[in-house]
A and B are shown apart, each in its own frame.
Chain A
Amino acid sequence: MSASGVAAKEVSRVLGRGSTPRLLRALLPALSLALVLLAISYLNPRAISYFGFTLMLNLAVPIALATIAQMFVIAGNDLDLSIGAFVGFVGCVTATWLRETPLLGTLVLLGCIATYAGLGALIYLRNLPSIVVTLGMSFVWQGLAILLLPKPGGKAPGWLLATMSFKPPLIPFPILAAAVIAALAYVGLMRTSYGAILRGSGGNAVAIGRAGWSLLKAKMVLFACTGVFGVLSGLALIGITTSADANIGNGYTLLSIAGVILGGGEFVGGRVSPIGAVIGALTLALAASPLLTFMHIPPDWQVAANGATLIVVLAARVLISRKEAER
């Protein structure tokens, strides 16, 4: 069969019989984002502008990066409860060492990534529950952050500030950045040939092992990727806030998990979607405060609204999957 024949066949398969629920499932994160945007444009049309988006999505970039970091461990059926503390620690390093002694700062950040890879190896070799190991690590990162920066302070390096305040023409920077992050993670995990092995290790580890692949290496690569994106998240965060605080990343652990799940990922089975995860992070970032402010929801209830958003979207997903199961 010719390649074009294959392609034609593929198109017909995707659009053909019975794939509507699968399509819906894939589109659900985008739909929920569209819904939030629609609500915002209805409540405050001026927000839908270059500057509106730049303002509203200001903090979405580090959240999206942290979500991608979380996605990598979830792809291997693990969970990282320390990502928030880790982002905080990276932030402290960025605002101090990276500016004052760039070489030391860089080495420390690379060491962080190596630590993550080591954690992956430890978890695989000793067959440990990742929840507990990363729980312990969250204390470690938090402690290190406090040691480094006992009081809020420090200053972001100039080049970082310049990067994060970059104003590209037409498209607001956060949207551009989110697109780049999503594309990068998508190509890395979904399109490369080794990415298939990484996801397969979450789907059926025995099959991957039987086919002759090293599961240890797969786990270490997944954790190292989490480390890389965690570092990027910390950098981006400090580039926006300009100074650091040991507790700056604390909310990110739960936000990142929620973003992955909102984006169509599942805790087990290697089912994750990088694009969905970024969209999920954007949705959370938008729903978190701009939307609620426009809706005149008192600050007291904004957290609740976040919880409700999560519940509603997940409930919608369950409904769709149930339809899928029935067919």
Chain B
Amino acid sequence: MTVTSPKLVKLDGIEKHFGAVRALGGVDLAVGQGECLGLVGHNGAGKSTLMHVLAGTASADRGSLTILGEAPAGYSPGIAKKLGVRCVFQELSLCPNLTVAENTRVFHPSLTGFNWRAKAGRLILEKLDAIFPGHGISASDLVQDLAIGRRQMVEVARAFTATDEPVRLIILDEPTSSLDAHTARQLLGFMRRAVADGISFIFISHLLGEVLEHCDRIVVMRDGRTVADADATTFDRDRLVAAMGDVEVHARETRANKGRARGQSPLRVRARPRRQSGIGELVAHEGEIIGLAGLAGHGQTELLLAIFSAAMRADARAEVTASVALVAGDRQADGVFPLWSIAENIGVRSLPSLRQGLLISPRREDALANLWRDKIRIRTPDVHHNILSLSGGNQQKALFARALGSDARIVLMDDPMRGVDVGTKLEVYDLIREEADAGRTFLWYTTETDELKQCDHVYVFRNGAIVADLTSDEVTEQKVIQSSFAEAS
């Protein structure tokens, strides 16, 4: 079936660079009419970037794109929409201050006239009713008043609404990550029905079961390339994981402190998630690397932030016995000071110790920055250059340098390896182990199993609570996934 269907969209040799980091290194991808293509790969494998290229929101450095056999000139989101390509991205593209109906109107320029509100409301409710029966959303609800899951439902339903423009291909980028199991099943069921009606899909998900079960064909991406492309029936979970996985990292078995019994060193952190029922708390001792696992957004970041503020100010939920530094994962939102140099960005956590008398000493600041540039290999000729002159991975290294160069005895890491290339990761793993051996404590939230294997102890989170407590020997992808989805799969 996938072989015979005519090609709707074809991408050839797409390349995309962000600074020095290669996000896409010559990707070929084709989607047939009425085909559901599953796209899987680790974080930072290039899936989202590729989809931005397809949606017209990012332009490729090289390569070609054809839709229905033609290469549209000056490809843009507007042209994509006219040609029937719709996207549901991870970041929501609704206006929070508008109602559900008004957001539908924004999407459809032809929705005008005296009765536009009712028309828009009917349009979106029809789709909502069809996809998510019993959704409980009203067309006059303000988006800002909806819970995140409902917003996602509106976003998905809006992509299916049609007025004067055709709907040919819908890109669903992690559509189920903020939906509960019930609504996720509703969406997947609807997707299959739409496929039967001839609409094509590109479906991105970290939940391999969803992809295996609902897609016709699966493409696996790794490091900005496609590494596997075949009928879904030829894959099973293990084959997918093997294709996605990084052999290089797998080969490096960890050097976790397997021998050492827990609790021999002094206590550093004791914290309880807010939504924890029953017993269960996170404990970290000096010199330990503690992993926080589970699906994204299940309370790990929240707990890290609670620990962070507990260190600044007493808090009943967490007990912290030493100074804390945090390495942000969302660099742009939580980490980088864009107007500052690399040296200033590194030094900001250590200002008191950079002083000479009352004033901050530029010499000391430079010394600190240069020390860490060499130690963590930040690739820059001069630490006085602006932080944004660095590639994403190197910016992340500067954030690591900020935390590791400070006096903090506890380092919190909020999924810090997002979008970081493998080479950088390996360097940072070694550094973290080194620092832990020297007595620092690390709390490391990550969604990648390879990184969890670097940890001495792992807590798995689900729905804002700790649901499993694994020692380093017990950490396997399967075990983590099992605990993450006890109810879903």
Contact = CB atoms under 8 A, between A and B. Distances in A.
A200 interface: yes
Contacts of B138: 9-10, 13-14
B120 to A, nearest CB: 8
Interface in A166-224: 191, 193-194, 196-197, 199-200, 202-204, 206-208, 210-213
Interface in B38-95: 57, 77-78, 81, 93-95
Contacts of B96: 203-204, 269
A154 interface: no
Interface in B105-153: 105-107, 109, 111-113, 116-118, 121-122, 125-126, 129, 138-142, 145
B271 to A, nearest CB: 22
B366 interface: no
B97 interface: yes
B121 A196 contact: no
A270 interface: yes
Interface residues of A, number: 29
B102 interface: yes
Interface residues of B, number: 33
B81 A212 contact: yes
B98 A199 contact: yes
A197 B139 contact: no
A206 B106 CA distance: 12
A193 B116 contact: yes
A193 B94 contact: no
Given A6-B122, A213-B106, A191 B117 contact: yes
Candidate in A9, A197, A210, A271 with the most chain B CB atoms within 10 angstroms: A210
Interface in A266-321: 269-271
Interface string A2-31: 010010011001100001001000000000
Given A13-B140, A191-B117, A196-B106, A204 B122 contact: no
A270 B97 contact: yes
A197 B106 contact: yes
Candidate in A3, A196, A204 with the most chain B CB atoms within 10 angstroms: A196
Contacts of A271: 97
B93 A210 contact: yes
Contacts of B81: 211-212
Contacts of A191: 117
Interface in A34-66: none
Candidate in B95, B103, B117, B138 with the most chain A CB atoms within 10 angstroms: B95
A4 to B, nearest CB: 11
Given A9-B138, A210-B77, A193 B111 contact: yes
Contacts of A196: 98, 102, 105-106
Contacts of A19: 145
Contact of A200 (B57, B106, B109, B118): B106
A204 B105 CA distance: 14
Contacts of A200: 95, 97-98, 102-103, 106
A22 B410 CA distance: 42
Candidate in B77, B105, B107, B142 with the most chain A CB atoms within 10 angstroms: B105
Given A191-B117, A203-B98, A270-B97, A3 B122 contact: yes
A207 B106 contact: yes
A193 B117 CA distance: 8
Nearest to B78: A212
A197 B120 CA distance: 14
Contacts of B103: 200
A199 B141 CA distance: 15
Contacts of A203: 95-98
B106 A10 contact: no
A19 B96 CA distance: 16
A211 B107 contact: yes
Nearest to B79: A212
A311 B94 CA distance: 32
A191 B102 CA distance: 10
Nearest to A13: B138
B109 A212 contact: yes
Contacts of B57: 210
A13 B136 CA distance: 9
Nearest to A202: B97
B176 to A, nearest CB: 22
A201 to B, nearest CB: 8
A1 B126 contact: yes
Contacts of A13: 138, 140-141
A76 to B, nearest CB: 12
Nearest to B137: A13
Given A10-B140, A193-B113, A204-B94, A211 B121 contact: no
Candidate in B81, B102, B141, B145 with the most chain A CB atoms within 10 angstroms: B102
Nearest to B105: A196
Contact of B94 (A3, A197, A202, A207): A207
Nearest to A204: B95
Contacts of B129: 1
B164 to A, nearest CB: 13
A203 B143 CA distance: 11
Interface in A61-101: none
A271 B93 CA distance: 17
Interface in B299-353: none
Contacts of A212: 77-78, 81, 109
A270 B122 contact: no
B74 to A, nearest CB: 13
Contacts of B122: 1, 3, 6
Contacts of A207: 93-95, 106
B95 A199 contact: yes
A65 to B, nearest CB: 24
Nearest to A21: B145
Interface in A120-141: none
Contacts of A199: 95, 97-98, 102
A156 B107 CA distance: 47
B412 to A, nearest CB: 25
A270 B57 CA distance: 24
Contact of B121 (A6, A14, A194, A270): A6
B139 A10 contact: yes
Which are the 8 A-B pairs with shortest beta-carbon distances? A203-B95, A13-B138, A203-B97, A200-B95, A196-B102, A212-B78, A207-B93, A204-B95
18 contacts: A1-B129, A3-B122, A6-B121, A10-B138, A13-B141, A14-B138, A14-B140, A193-B116, A199-B98, A199-B102, A200-B103, A204-B95, A210-B57, A210-B93, A211-B77, A269-B96, A270-B97, A271-B97
Interface of B: 57, 77-78, 81, 93-98, 102-103, 105-107, 109, 111-113, 116-118, 121-122, 125-126, 129, 138-142, 145
Interface of A: 1, 3, 6, 9-10, 13-14, 19, 22, 191, 193-194, 196-197, 199-200, 202-204, 206-208, 210-213, 269-271
Given A1-B129, A22-B145, A200-B98, 5 more contacts: A9-B138, A22-B142, A191-B117, A204-B94, A271-B97
